[in-house]
Structure 1
């Protein structure tokens, strides 16, 4: 398993990772960015913010860091940080290919990223990731696979990915959209020379969107490490925007809405790593409290009332503005 080092860690936060989607580029769909980020979102300002978060995360026991080619300069920021800390050999680094960042460091670009799961894009972005992260890259994931993705049927691409795996790179995939479960099951069936190609899956799961759970359990049983993204539903479960039920339970626990929301995910037996998408060190510290949240059956039953139909959830997510 690629996350064996995390499983062997002694810190209680070893199953919480840090995703860099919110700080690798000036524009994203998370709520509350006007308050979370510097007024001037220059490259240097977000590089500094990313490094602050990485320092704080590592100091508090986080060992998995997640980037992507489409997260602006997230790989660059992460690589800069790693290069100045060569002794940190217990870190696991993941990135993703399949989307190209096209906003040119603008928050009001007409198009922020373009999806393409072809072999040509893989080879181009693999070279780009390698130039920045080199042998520090442990996990490379196909970004946002859906059931109709050509990445699930392209045998030439599969062969190239298998070659990378044979050289020591762990190959995984992430999913998005209302048909995540179908995409996961289709990916589980992909083999090269009779062997499963993918060793990890990264999917959206949170108190509002739980539809992928059965398929993620199947993936876990098949030996894949499950990474959970968007546990805060792009800010919809954070304090200022959280539903009333979540606010009530947070008050009962004495911790933040975010810690409760992430604790729900940590309870799932198939969840290997749960990503924090924090944009500030204060948010990160609050997120990490999820490891000590103890929810009783009544609280879990009340939280279950928040679940939305997948198409409703993803339609609302698609309406969130880039800002």
Structure 2
């Protein structure tokens, strides 16, 4: 079953997967993107960039890849790569529905994506995902559930998702926003015919934003696989953008701030898969060094001082420009 395979869809040394948000479209909110991608971001250039990343990730043991309908052409790029890599039949593929990409391959569109958690959106986007990925689609997640999402109360949608699960598709959800914990707990309470609906949860958790931690521990205890996104806080914990305390600990470990930041997440006992959102092969290699970081209690205490109030964190994230 795909759900069972998620437990091993990681590198041999650490639970790291590859997310394609940064390379499936020309514009995104990650800091440093101008330097990472340069000016040439046409479709074929980013297709080649995505394939290069996937080749490198696979060679280094990564076996979980995460896409979404709203990540531009990420599903298309991934499907192309899978078609030319028949040896990669052990890769577990996750995607998400609930946002529609609307930027038309532009970096300065007025709106880059539109949220819609309706049953109609699910049916349309699932057909689109399956047209590209076919039976390689293992996990399908509701994208960015918040406590007010209609996906939490739509019984007809729940029934359709349960039907998909009965057919072999693993069903999960992701969360965003300052009330992630509330959304997680509400989703955990959803059952169909007495059985829990969701088998995975994907949430933001990093050295700056830890508020979802207790709810993610509850999800893990309930049997869900926990996938962590935005472990680098959209670049705020990488390179020159990293806080001084993080850079200081990184210097002590002789590794990059990104590896230390991801190591903080990997230490959580409930973290099943931690996503790298690398845009370059060098970034991916540095991210994978997180498995080698052995943090002391004193270093962890210093890093704990970085935690922000959820409302402040998400307000800053919401203000990041699309590069």
Q: Name the CA distance, whole Å, in 1 between partners of 2:9 and 2:118.
A: 37
Task: Say if 1:3 and 1:246 are closer, same or farther in 2 by CA, change over 3 A.
Answer: farther
Q: Name the CA distance, whole Å, in 1 between partners of 2:5 and 2:122.
A: 27
Q: CA deviation at 1:195?
A: 0.3
Task: Say if 1:66 and 1:13 are closer, same or farther in 2 by CA, change over 3 A.
Answer: farther
Contact 2:10 2:64 in 1 (8 A): no
Match of 1:121 in 2: 121
Contact 2:247 2:257 in 1 (8 A): yes
Q: How does 1:109-258 map to 2 (within 5 A)?
A: 109-258=109-258
TM-score (norm 2): 0.98
Q: How does 1:280-295 map to 2 (within 5 A)?
A: 280-295=280-295
Any unmatched runs of 5+ in structure 2? none
Q: CA deviation at 1:13?
A: 4.0
Contact 2:10 2:16 in 1 (8 A): no
Cα deviations by residue, 1:24-59 (Å, 9 ceiling, x for unpaired) = 000000000110004210000000000000000000
Q: CA deviation at 1:3?
A: 5.1
Cα deviations by residue, 1:90-144 (Å, 9 ceiling, x for unpaired) = 1100000000000000000000000000000000000000000000000000000
Match of 2:277 in 1: 277
Task: Say if 1:13 and 1:67 are closer, same or farther in 2 by CA, change over 3 A.
Answer: farther
TM-score (norm 1): 0.98
Q: Name the CA distance, whole Å, in 1 between partners of 2:212 and 2:7.
A: 23
Is the partner of 1:138 in helix, strand or coil? Answer: strand
Contact 1:68 1:75 in 2 (8 A): yes
Is the partner of 1:109 in helix, strand or coil? Answer: coil
Match of 2:103 in 1: 103
Residue 72 (1) aligns with residue 68 (2): no
Q: CA deviation at 1:7?
A: 3.7
Range with greater deviation from structure 2 (246-255 or 3-12): 3-12
Q: Name the CA distance, whole Å, in 2 between partners of 1:170 and 1:307.
A: 33
Range with greater deviation from structure 2 (84-93 or 305-314): 84-93
Q: CA deviation at 1:176?
A: 0.1
Range with greater deviation from structure 2 (299-308 or 29-38): 29-38
Is the partner of 2:18 in helix, strand or coil? Answer: strand
Is the partner of 2:75 in helix, strand or coil? Answer: helix
Match of 2:28 in 1: 28
Contact 2:19 2:67 in 1 (8 A): yes
Q: CA deviation at 1:6?
A: 5.2
Q: CA deviation at 1:2?
A: 3.8
Is the partner of 1:18 in helix, strand or coil? Answer: strand
Runs of 4+ in 1 over 4 A off after TM superposition: 8-11
Cα deviations by residue, 1:242-295 (Å, 9 ceiling, x for unpaired) = 000000000000000000000000000000000000000000000000011000
Q: Name the CA distance, whole Å, in 1 between partners of 2:288 and 2:129.
A: 28
Contact 2:220 2:226 in 1 (8 A): yes
Any unmatched runs of 5+ in structure 1? none
Q: CA deviation at 1:14?
A: 4.9
Is the partner of 1:106 in helix, strand or coil? Answer: coil
Is the partner of 1:87 in helix, strand or coil? Answer: helix
Task: Say if 1:10 and 1:70 are closer, same or farther in 2 by CA, change over 3 A.
Answer: closer
Q: CA deviation at 1:4?
A: 3.5
Task: Say if 1:151 and 1:6 are closer, same or farther in 2 by CA, change over 3 A.
Answer: closer
Q: Name the CA distance, whole Å, in 2 between partners of 1:196 and 1:43.
A: 40
